[in-house]
Chains A and B, each alone.
Chain A
Amino acid sequence: MTGSRKFLFGLAGAFGVPWLLLVIIPVIKAQKLTPEAYDKDRDGIEGVYPSTSIDRQGQLVYISEGCAQCHTQMIRPSFVGILDGWKKGWGSDQSDQPKHAVRPSKWEDYMGEPVAPLGIQRNGPDLANYGYRAPKERAAIHLKLYAPRASKTNAWSMMPSYRHLYKVKAIEGNGSSHALEFPEDMAKELKPKKGFEVVPTPAAEQLVDYLLSLKKDAPVPGEVVAEDAK
C-alpha cells in the first residue's frame, strides 16, 4: 500500500536527517578530538591543550550524587546580557574586578570525559573553574559538603548535606588528621558528640579531588594573543 509506505519513508526521512546531522556526525567528530600542542612562538607557552584533566573517580561520585541537578560546568560567552565571564571567581583570575572576561567553554575542554556533566540547572554557582576558587584547605570544602549551612554567612544556602559521605567515629588517641574542623557559630546539633570526630570517606576525598581538578579555562592555542588584546 502506497499510503503506508509514503508515511514510513516520510517519517524515516523527517527524523533521520536531524538524527544523522545532530547526533551521529557530531558524536563521531567529538570522539576524534585529540589534544593540540601549543606553538611557543604564537602562544607564548609550551605544552598541550587541554592542559588539565579531571579526576574521573571523583566525577563518578559527582554523577552518582546528582550534583549536576543544580550545578553547571559551562561558561557562556559574555554578550546579550550574559555575564558568566565577568563573575567573580568564575575563572582563574580571582580578583574582584577581573581584567578579562573568562573565555567561554569549548568542547575541547571536556576531552576525555565520557559524558561531560554540563548541568541541568544553575541553582548553585557554576563549577567549570571551581578548582581556582576552592578554599586553600581541603577541610573547608569537606565542611561545605558535610554541612552547607555551617556558618551564619551561608545560612541562605539551599544545598543538601552530603553527610553520608562522612563517617562519625570515636576519637582514638590524638584523633585523625583528616577530621573536619567546625566553626564556632555552627549549630550544636550539626556537630558530632563529644569524643567523636567526623572523617571523610574515600568517596568524599575523591569528590574533593574532582572539584579541585575543575579548571576549564586553559588558554586555547592560537587565541591567547587575541584574548590579551581586548
Chain B
Amino acid sequence: MATTDSSISNSDSLRRAAIDRSVKGPVLFLFANAAMWLLASTVMGLIASIKLVSPDFLNYDWLWFLNYSRLQPAHMAALVYGWAMQAGLGVAVWLLARRSGQALSGGAGTMLVAGIFWNVGVTLGVIGILSGAGTALQWLEFPSFVWPVLLIPYLVIAVNMIVHYNRANRQQGFHLTSWYLLAALLCFPWIFLTGNLVLNCFAAATPIGAIGAGVNAWYVSATIMLFFAPLGLGVCYYFIPKITGQPVYSYQLAQIGFWGLIILGGWSGFQKYMGGPVPSWTAAVGGMATILLLVPAGIVALNHHLTTSGKHSLIETSPTLRFIFVGSASFLVTSGIAALISNFWTGTNFQFTYAEYGYHLAAVYAFFSMTMFGAIYYITPRLAGCEWLSARLIRNHFWFSVYGITALVACMVIGGLAQGQSQNNPDNWNQPFIGSVINARGYLVGRALAWAFILWSNFWFFTHLVFMVLGLGRRSVAPTLLVHDHHDERPAAVPAPTHPPASATA
C-alpha cells in the first residue's frame, strides 16, 4: 500500500526529491495553464449565466461572438479540455512517476512541448467556437481540425508515462491508484478517437443522422465515467491513505468498485435521447448502467470513508485532504444525479433541462476538480521548492468553491426540474414557451451568483498558484496547514487540533 510520510528514511526522501525534480517542468506547466483556463472558463460561464437571465447583458454589436449559444460551449470546452484534462494529466504524470519509484530518465522536455501544443489546441478551439467554426457537438465543439492537435500531445504525455511506469514497476504488481490512472489514460484516447473519427470524419462522408447525436452523448458520458471518474478516484485512493497514514480499508471492496466502474462506464450515454430517434435498447441500457453505477460509486465512497475513519480531524488541517474529501463525497452525489436524470421514471422531467448541466458540473467540478485541487495543493510545494503563501487564501479557495459549486449544482438540478415540469404540464399544452422560462429564472439567478463565487475563489487560486510556480512561495520546511491565520509568525509545526478551530469555519 502507499507509503506514509512518517517512515521516511533519508535515501527515500532523496529518491522522492529526484523523482519530483524529473517531472517538475511539465507538471508545473500543466498546472499553471490549467488554472489559467479554469479562470477563463469561469469568466465565460459567468457571462453565459448572466445572459440567460438578462439576454441584453453585454449585447453590443461588436461583441456578437458572445452569444449564449457560442459562449456556453466555449465555456464548457475550456473547463473540460483547458482545465480538467490538463490538470488531470499533470497529476497523472506526477503520480505515475511517484508510483514507479524511479526518476524519469528523460522525456520531461518532450512532455513540456506536448503541454504547449495541448494549450495551442485548446486556444485554437475556443477561438474557433467563438468565431463560429464550432461543430455544435457536445464536448466536441472545437473546430474539426483541432482534435489531432489535442490527441497527439495527449498521447505523447500518456505513452511516455505508461512506458516509464511499466519499465520501472515490473516486479511490484499493480497498485490501486495505478489501476485507476492507467485505466483513465488508456481509455480516453480510445473514446476521443472514436468520437472524433465517427462524428467529425466518418459522418461527413457518410451521414449517420440521429445516431451521431447518440454517439455524441455516449462520448460525453464515457469521458466522465472512464476518464474523469477513474482519474479522480485514483487520486483519492492515493492521497487519503497517504495523509491519514492508514491503509485502504478494504482491498477487495476497492477491486469491486474499480471493475464495476470500468464494466458499466462504457454502456451509459444514449439515455440522453431516451424516447428519441436512437434505438430504444441503447437508451434503456444506458439508463440501466447509470443506475447500476450507484453500486461501485457507493462502494468507493464507503471505502474512502472507512479509510479516513478516525482521522477526520486531519480534514481541518490538511488542505489536500479537505479538497479530496469533498471530491470523494461528490462522486456519490454525481452518480445520484446521473441516475436521477437517466431513467424514464424520474428523468422525463429532467430531460433536456438545466439538470444535465448540473450533472456535468457535479462530475467535472464538484467531484473531479476538487480532487485535482487537493492534489495540486500537495504536489506543487514539492516541485516548486517552496510552501503555499497563505492558509487564508487556501481556505478562501476552499469555502468559496464548495459553496459556489453546491449552490450551482443544486440550482441547476432543481431549476431543471422546474423547467421540465412546466414543459410537461398539461396546462401548458397550448401556451407559448413562457412558463418554463419564467419558472427557471430564479434558479438561473442562482447560477450566475454561484459562478461569481467560484470566480472569486479561482482568481485567488490562480494567483496563488502562479506565485508558487514562479518559486515565490514561502521558504520553510513546514507545510502550510490550515491551523493559523498568521502562519508567518508561527510556522505550522503544531499537531492536528482535536477540535475545529473557529477560523476554519469562518
Contacts and interface: CB of A to CB of B under 8 A. Distances in A.
A169 interface: no
B210 A107 contact: yes
Interface string B414-458: 000001000111100111111011100000000000000000000
Given A27-B198, A66-B67, A66-B70, A76 B212 contact: no
B282 A158 contact: no
A3 interface: yes
A97 B430 CA distance: 8
B310 interface: no
Nearest to A26: B211
Contacts of B262: 10-11, 14-15
Given A11-B186, A18-B266, A31-B208, A64 B277 contact: no
Interface of B: 51-53, 55, 59, 61, 64-65, 67-70, 72-73, 129, 132-138, 141, 166, 170, 173-174, 179, 182-183, 186-187, 190, 194, 198-199, 202-204, 206-216, 218, 226, 259, 262-263, 265-267, 269-270, 273, 275-279, 282, 285-286, 344-345, 348-349, 351-354, 356-357, 419, 423-426, 429-434, 436-438
Contact of B276 (A26, A27, A105, A120): A105
A175 to B, nearest CB: 21
A114 B144 CA distance: 13
A116 B51 contact: no
What is the interface of chain B mostly: helix, strand, loop, or mixed? helix
Contacts of B259: 10, 14
A69 interface: yes
Contact of B70 (A65, A107, A111): A65
B72 to A, nearest CB: 5
Nearest to B266: A18
Given A22-B282, A26-B211, A66-B72, 19 more contacts: A7-B179, A11-B262, A15-B187, A22-B270, A22-B285, A62-B136, A63-B135, A65-B70, A66-B70, A80-B345, A83-B425, A86-B429, A107-B210, A115-B199, A115-B209, A116-B210, A116-B212, A161-B55, A164-B65
In order of increasing CB-CB distance, the 10 nearest A-B pairs are A115-B212, A66-B69, A110-B209, A18-B266, A164-B64, A122-B352, A118-B213, A76-B275, A30-B211, A160-B67
Nearest to A28: B208
A57 interface: no
Contacts of A120: 138, 352, 356
B430 A158 contact: no
B210 A30 contact: yes
Q: Is the interface of A mostly helix, strand, loop or mixed?
A: loop
Given A23-B198, A81-B348, A105-B276, A65 B209 contact: no
Contacts, number: 228
B430 A114 contact: no
A77 interface: yes
A74 B277 contact: yes
A65 B216 contact: no
Contacts of B64: 163-164
B396 to A, nearest CB: 33
B284 to A, nearest CB: 12
A64 B282 contact: no
Nearest to A83: B424
B429 A162 contact: no
A111 B212 CA distance: 11
A96 B431 CA distance: 10
B224 to A, nearest CB: 14
A226 interface: no
B430 A69 contact: no
B108 to A, nearest CB: 24
Contacts of A47: none
Interface in A1-32: 1, 3-4, 7-8, 10-11, 14-15, 17-19, 22-23, 26-27, 29-31
A222 B275 CA distance: 20
Contacts of B356: 120-121
A154 B55 CA distance: 13
Most buried by B among A81, A118, A148: A118
